[in-house]
């Protein structure tokens, strides 16, 4: 009795056929021969001595379900950011928590983070002089809730609830992610920058020497 098995080896992208010889039994996917060449494995896998290679795929084949959906039935928005900004920290954070919970309860994939605050120093002057009258130090705090795989009819519901419950002093922006905003979240690595600077100096010097 010979069995014809088709499988895709992890090293080769083509289908490889192997025949099991008469007299060899395959017990639960493992071949009980220690010294003979292992059937159902390609040359490369045979040469490795690793016993931990998984054998179930070569023996039983790979299962691909028929009803895989590559696209959802209802079209979805790309990942959106709900950006909340305000000068009043307490109110902003409380609202951001509410929005995160709201997005979760609507069944959306959510992620939330705080963006570093941007400070503003404001000086007011006495009329017709450079004498400082008042100094104000304000911080614009920011919280972001990112939502993914939003079915298109669901976003209006989220926006409606957000607007109904929005407090005073919070500005809300709904948009896709921008690279500059992502860069702003990270603290620049001074050491790395200095090293790169040094490298640049060395390379410039080398080029100049070459020109000469």
Partner 1 sequence: MATIRVCSALTAVAKRSSHGVLRNYLQLRQSSSGALCTPGQWQLVSAVCLQRQPIITAEKTELEQQYADMMAQMELETSLLSDQELRAIEDKAIEAKRKQQEENETGEGEVEGARVTALDLEDAWEAEAKQFTPAARITEADEKNDQRSVERRLDKPLVLLVKQTLGDKSHWVFPQGPRQEGESMRQAAERVLQNLCGQQVGAQFLGNAPCGFHQYRFPPKASIGTGAKVFFYKAWYKEGDVIPDKENSTDYMWVTFDELSDHCSRPYLKSIGNFLVDL
| Residue numbers at the binding site for partner 1 (CB under 8 A) | 74-75, 77, 80, 152-153, 155-156, 159-176
- Output 10 or 172, the one with its CB closest to partner 1: 172
d(CA 172, CA 163) in angstroms, rounded, equals 9
Nearest distance from C-beta of residue 52 to partner 1, angstroms:
47
Cβ-based neighbours of 153, under 8 Å, separated by 6 or more: 74
Residues, the chain, total?
212
Phi, psi of 144 (to 5 degrees): -125, 135
- Output 44 or 74, the one with its CB closest to partner 1: 74
Nearest distance from C-beta of residue 164 to partner 1, angstroms:
5
- Output 29 or 169, the one with its CB closest to partner 1: 169
- Output 3 or 74, the one with its CB closest to partner 1: 74
Strands (E), 50-189: 76-77, 80-86, 109-125, 132-148, 150-151, 170-176
- Output 138 or 159, the one with its CB closest to partner 1: 159
Nearest distance from C-beta of residue 123 to partner 1, angstroms:
15
Q: Which of 81, 86, 109 is nearest to 166 (CA)?
A: 86
Nearest distance from C-beta of residue 147 to partner 1, angstroms:
12
Kindly tell me the number of DSSP H helices and DSSP E strands found in the chain. Answer: 6, 10
Nearest distance from C-beta of residue 73 to partner 1, angstroms:
9
For 38-76, give the secondary structure using H, E and C.
CCCCCHHHHHCCCCCCCCHHHHHCCCCCCCCCCCCCCCE
Q: Return the bridge partners of 124, or none.
A: 134
């Amino acid at each position: 009795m010979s069995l014809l098995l088709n499988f895709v080896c992890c090293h080769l992208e083509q289908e490889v056929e192997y025949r099991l010889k008469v007299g060899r039994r395959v017990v639960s996917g493992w071949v009980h021969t220690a010294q003979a060449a292992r059937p159902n494995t390609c040359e490369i896998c045979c040469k490795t001595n690793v016993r931990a290679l998984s054998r179930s795929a070569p023996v039983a084949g790979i299962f691909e379900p028929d009803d895989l959906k590559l696209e959802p039935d209802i079209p979805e928005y790309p990942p959106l950011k709900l950006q909340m900004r305000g000068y009043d920290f307490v109110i902003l954070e409380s609202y951001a928590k509410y929005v995160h919970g709201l997005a979760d309860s609507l069944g959306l994939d959510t992620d939330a983070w705080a963006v570093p605050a941007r400070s503003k120093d404001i000086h007011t002057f006495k009329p017709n002089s450079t004498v400082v009258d008042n100094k104000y130090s304000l911080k614009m705090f920011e919280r972001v809730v990112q939502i993914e795989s939003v079915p298109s009819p669901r976003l209006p519901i989220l926006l409606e609830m957000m607007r109904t419950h929005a407090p005073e002093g919070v500005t809300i922006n709904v948009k896709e992610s921008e690279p500059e905003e992502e860069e702003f979240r990270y603290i620049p690595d001074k050491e790395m920058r200095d090293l790169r600077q040094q490298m640049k100096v060395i390379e410039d010097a080398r080029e100049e020497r070459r020109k000469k």
